[in-house]
Structure 1
Amino acid sequence: MQGDSGFCEGLCVELSSDAAAIRCALEQVMASGPVLRLAPDLSARLQLVLAEVLNNVVEHAYVLNAGRIRVSVTVQPAGIECCVCDSGCPMPDGRPPTGALPDWSEGEPPEGGFGWFLIRQLTSGLHYRRQGMCNELRFRIDLN
């Protein structure tokens, strides 16, 4: 694929909304040619962010039913562009969570609540929209 900003390569993976499918999809993305050519720290960031996003889709968007998820990943000179689409429930208030860290005031580490913090820390250009019955989350993982 050739874009305005120079050379880029992409892939698209479709999966069902369950934990086993997430594992297989992540393995497929990480084993793809464009991702294999990335620096190890960049591919690790991609894997962590995609795992968090996909698990959120399964746990929250498809809480009432099962469905399909489409993930597209495009490696460009400036970074990795990602898009995750599903037809599950929309995000509350029509936007992703703020990514605030959970409250540790009780002394015990909280059970969860770090996903959106990590997603927001490791990405840029995070954008969510609901079109008809489809959720679309776009983000970029910058090279620098």
Structure 2
Amino acid sequence: MTNPQADIHIELEGTPQEVRNALETLRHKLTAQEFAACNAGVLEIVLAEVLNNVVEHALAGRQDGQIVIACNYSDHCWFVEVRDNGAQMPENKLPDGQMPDLERDLSDMPEGGFGWGLVRSLAQDIDYQRRATGHNRLSFRVPD
């Protein structure tokens, strides 16, 4: 489940604190000179949504959750793969990413339901696969 040759490679346990640590590591690596001109903020937002969903849903109630992130930058685009050992997506497919109805009173707004809409609006070529090894694999790209 590893790809240490990636431009950015991060392995983490499936906990909220580890997600925060991984995003901090990502931010540090993205500020490196070689990636200074890339669309780092968008990549960080997309990965934050994806990782939080993995921890909250795929790895819920598990103590052995593992996540691996591999990011490669090429031709002004980040190619990203996220793998985890959690439960598969419902119906083995990605959520449709429909945003909640925003034409309502602020007090009636839902707390959640925005994540996949945000991911789908910022990332491209999103693909989900459940591997025979029991791992989930999500890949996408984030152009500059």
Global fold match (TM > 0.5): yes
Corresponding residue for residue 142 of structure 2: 141
Q: Please provide the CA RMSD for this pair.
A: 1.8
Corresponding residue for residue 70 of structure 1: 68
Deviation at 1:38, TM superposition (A): 3.5
Corresponding residue for residue 3 of structure 1: none
Return the alpha-carbon distance in structure 2 between the equivalents of residues 63 and 56 of structure 1: 10
Q: Answer yes or no: is the 8 Å Cα contact 1:34–1:75 preserved in 2.
A: no
Does 2:44 correspond to 1:43? no
| TM-score, with length taken from structure 1 | 0.85
Partner secondary structure for residue 112 of structure 2: coil
Return the alpha-carbon distance in structure 2 between the equivalents of residues 29 and 35 of structure 1: 10
Q: Which runs of 5+ in 2 are unaligned?
A: 1-5
Question: How many residue pairs are counted as aligned between the two chains?
Answer: 134
Residue type of the alignment partner of 1:50: L
Corresponding residue for residue 55 of structure 1: 52
Q: Identity across aligned pairs (percent)? A: 36
Deviation at 1:64, TM superposition (A): 3.1
| TM-score, with length taken from structure 2 | 0.85
Corresponding residue for residue 109 of structure 1: 109
Q: Which runs of 5+ in 1 are unaligned?
A: 1-8
Return the alpha-carbon distance in structure 2 between the equivalents of residues 139 and 131 of structure 1: 16
Residue type of the alignment partner of 1:77: D
Corresponding residue for residue 6 of structure 1: none
Q: Which runs of 4+ in 1 moved over 4 A?
A: 33-36
Return the alpha-carbon distance in structure 1 between the equivalents of residues 49 and 100 of structure 2: 16
Deviation at 1:106, TM superposition (A): 5.0
